[in-house]
């Protein structure tokens, strides 16, 4: 098994590097100050702001048999652009995000809306915090299984505790990693994008969102997380970083108990072969890619090291480069 070595990784594409970077520290919440004054515009002008071509390509739930503008209205369940603005606080989400996202606010709202539509089709019991907490061990154990099967199992487990877990393809330019939204007093949506191509990134995002569910219900009823590499500190509300840190800590500690990690590094930190990482992952009941991802984030490993232990996630549909 490979020892840790220092290699320059000159041949990786920018996309590969992006896919390996730490995830999900951005946050957006919606408050009264988050609302834009809606500028009246024609239906066609309004609809043209949505990435309809991509929404069709990615099989979003646009009603068929209508003009594009009417399809967008139907998708949101509103009868006018003004109604869309007042009915969907998500319309103002991008105000607290980066300039990149600001220009894509309609796409962000479309992604959230699609997550809601998919979630509405999942039979849910009432939210049960104790049961969710007691399901965490089983959920983290899924990281050992083949990714696509594991996600389906996670969706079932979540539905039994009142959490609608949905995967929605990322719309170009939005750079979202996930969202948590309380749909009612008894149901909560956890949405994940198809942004990440490695299992550790996706599972980390999942447990990050579960952290928002368990820890922040009273304060954050609607959180949209965007990928770390596009967050600018002067745009993101600094008051929110506390919640992001908590959710990240929750994800990290739920996946890998801190004491076990400390012991492992004390014993093997100097050599750290793939075999040792694999055995440690087995001993704590998670997939080896989870451990590699954590060690990379903690800079124990370089970003190019240990990746053979991760699962590559195939989302099963063609995605265009953007």
Residues that bind Zn ion (CB under 5 A): 27, 225, 247
Do 232 and 30 form a contact (C-beta atoms < 8 A)? no
Shortest distance, position 22 Cβ to Zn ion, whole Å: 13
Output 27 or 110, the one with its CB closest to Zn ion. Answer: 27
Shortest distance, position 171 Cβ to Zn ion, whole Å: 19
Q: Dihedrals φ, ψ of 180, to 5°?
A: -130, 125
DSSP-assigned letter for residue 198: B
Output 71 or 251, the one with its CB closest to Zn ion. Answer: 251
Shortest distance, position 177 Cβ to Zn ion, whole Å: 8
Shortest distance, position 229 Cβ to Zn ion, whole Å: 15
Shortest distance, position 247 Cβ to Zn ion, whole Å: 5
DSSP string, 92-107: GGGGGS-HHHHTTHHH
DSSP string, 63-89: PSSS-HHHHHHHHHT-SSHHHHHHH-G
Residues in contact with 286: Cβ distance below 8 Å, sequence separation at least 6, in sequence order: 140, 141, 143, 144, 255, 256
Using CA atoms, how far apart are residues 139 and 94, in angstroms rounded to an integer?
31
Using CA atoms, how far apart are residues 111 and 42, in angstroms rounded to an integer?
22
Output 106 or 225, the one with its CB closest to Zn ion. Answer: 225
Of 317, 285, 280, 306, the residue nearest 145 (C-alpha): 285
DSSP string, 294-314: HHHHTTSS-TTSSGGGSPBP-
Using CA atoms, how far apart are residues 112 and 316, in angstroms rounded to an integer?
21
Output 139 or 247, the one with its CB closest to Zn ion. Answer: 247
Shortest distance, position 134 Cβ to Zn ion, whole Å: 23
Output 58 or 251, the one with its CB closest to Zn ion. Answer: 251
β-bridge partners, 164: 189
User: Strand pairing of 28-29 and 222-226?
Assistant: antiparallel
Output 114 or 225, the one with its CB closest to Zn ion. Answer: 225
Output 54 or 200, the one with its CB closest to Zn ion. Answer: 200
Using CA atoms, how far apart are residues 11 and 86, in angstroms rounded to an integer?
48
Shortest distance, position 27 Cβ to Zn ion, whole Å: 5
Looking at beta carbons, which residue is closest to Zn ion? 225
Q: What is the 3-state secondary structure (H, E, C) of 4-20?
A: CCCCCCCCCCHHHHHHH
Output 27 or 171, the one with its CB closest to Zn ion. Answer: 27
Output 24 or 311, the one with its CB closest to Zn ion. Answer: 24
Shortest distance, position 153 Cβ to Zn ion, whole Å: 23
Shortest distance, position 226 Cβ to Zn ion, whole Å: 9
- How many C-beta atoms lie closer than 10 Å to residue 29's C-beta? 19
């Amino acid at each position: 098994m490979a020892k840790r070595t220092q290699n320059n990784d000159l041949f990786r594409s920018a996309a590969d590097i992006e896919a390996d970077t730490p995830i999900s520290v951005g946050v957006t919440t919606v408050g009264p100050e988050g609302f834009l004054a809606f500028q009246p515009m024609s239906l066609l002008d309004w609809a043209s702001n949505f990435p309809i071509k991509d929404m069709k390509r990615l099989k979003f739930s646009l009603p068929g048999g209508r003009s594009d503008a009417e399809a967008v209205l139907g998708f949101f369940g509103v009868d006018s652009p003004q109604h869309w603005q007042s009915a969907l606080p998500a319309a103002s989400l991008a105000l607290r995000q980066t300039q990149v996202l600001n220009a894509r606010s309609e796409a962000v709202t479309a992604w959230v809306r699609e997550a809601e539509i998919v979630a509405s089709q999942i039979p849910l019991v009432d939210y049960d915090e104790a049961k969710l907490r007691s399901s965490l061990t089983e959920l983290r154990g899924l990281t050992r299984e083949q990714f696509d099967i594991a996600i389906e199992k996670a969706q079932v487990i979540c539905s039994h505790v009142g959490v609608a877990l949905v995967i929605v393809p990322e719309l170009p330019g939005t750079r979202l990693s996930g969202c948590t939204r309380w749909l009612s007093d008894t149901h909560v949506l956890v949405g994940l994008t198809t942004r990440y191509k490695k299992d550790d990134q996706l599972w980390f995002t999942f447990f990050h969102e579960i952290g928002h569910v368990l820890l922040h219900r009273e304060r954050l009823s609607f959180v949209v997380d965007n990928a770390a590499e596009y967050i600018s500190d002067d745009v993101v509300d600094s008051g929110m970083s506390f919640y992001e840190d908590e959710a990240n800590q929750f994800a990290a500690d739920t996946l890998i108990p801190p004491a076990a990690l400390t012991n492992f590094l004390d014993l093997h930190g100097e050599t750290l072969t793939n075999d040792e990482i694999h055995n440690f992952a087995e001993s704590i009941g998670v997939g080896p890619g989870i451990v590699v991802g954590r060690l990379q984030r903690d800079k124990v490993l370089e970003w190019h090291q240990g990746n053979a232990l991760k699962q590559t996630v195939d989302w099963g549909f063609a995605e265009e480069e953007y």
